[in-house]
Structure 1
């Protein structure tokens, strides 16, 4: 357990000999952003519903912090676990919008987040006796229980949660959707292959679980049988069967949860 000067406490676990915080602030709950705030980064209603579902069922709490298992591994922070440059981008975004909150949670421990410049990327520095930058600074956070607890506590701040979402939408989901466009037509345009909240949830889940290769596979399956408005959902069924056949029953069951949940039904 890490206790801060103001009495706040963060209870850490241990995984592979490294400290972790599994999180206490659920995506759907009184300490999380509202639906309006989730839509703040410019999401459409179907996109917002899809993201809310995927984060709630397959993501992590906003204040979770885990780390990569290998020595020198970086921390993964938040609802859609951000690591590396994306984590740094989220921290920079938070500091730019709420500098006092950032300094109260992280700045006082020597962490400094600097926005991107024309000739260099956004950066994170750990100042003091262990002076480090970028990957090295992140690796130290993953190893140091007090720094990791501070990052977890930061995830309880509403501004930090919004920064996580803004970074996710701007640097992960929008580029992913753009990569799926065909003949300059958005894949989630009205009448498109992935126009519904359910179909978009399949895309977002593929990005979360499998990365861009998984998204490409799902879109390829949809284009083999382009039958709007259900092409994306039919592709999800085929993906689930492929996953089951290759021994990935957990991921297959997650896809079926998306395909069958009433939460993603089109509004009547």
Structure 2
């Protein structure tokens, strides 16, 4: 998972914007009137509107909306632009009536309309209401396993969507957790006689990092895990440390549970 931001300039500068440019919240309002699901500043392409205007005599199905995003690389660096396809499913109570074939046709036709000027983001998000999303995630993934057309699709709640994709214009992330304090807690020199305690604290912070990852706060996850990777590398490279067989087994279990610790890139 990677940190994402939305950039309205990608959409307002798109060739289709004069035809079907709208706010994502306004697109949502058409089917879910009176429900405030999205940041009201997010611009999108309303693909249904495009079909109504441009293809009234031969209207085909498309995805619901397209937004412009970039990957947040580090500090104030961002990737090249992408178009993200969205299916708004806030009215669904379950996912059993999703059709992979129908979705594939929607995506294919949407791609034809959008053209190839801007790359498509790999993942297509199905946005559900908060209370529905949690109990549909496992069902959704079971359906993906049996339908290759859903391979690039992911379910997400409205709250998680708004947490995950932040506006680029005021992007300045301030970590919730102090990485200096994390490093102080995991100073290996304090645990040369008690490696078990060091490993216990390391496991706690790995679990804490994953908590943020699963809540779509990718920036906080990256902030914590980035420091943990450095500390773990230093721990593994420290020649002063003498690990018992149990210590080594526990270390290997941590590496198995959190393989990102071994990747310093």
TM-score, normalisation: structure 2: 0.26
Which is higher, the Rg of structure 1 or of structure 2? 2
TM-score, normalisation: structure 1: 0.25
Q: Which has the larger share of strand?
A: 2
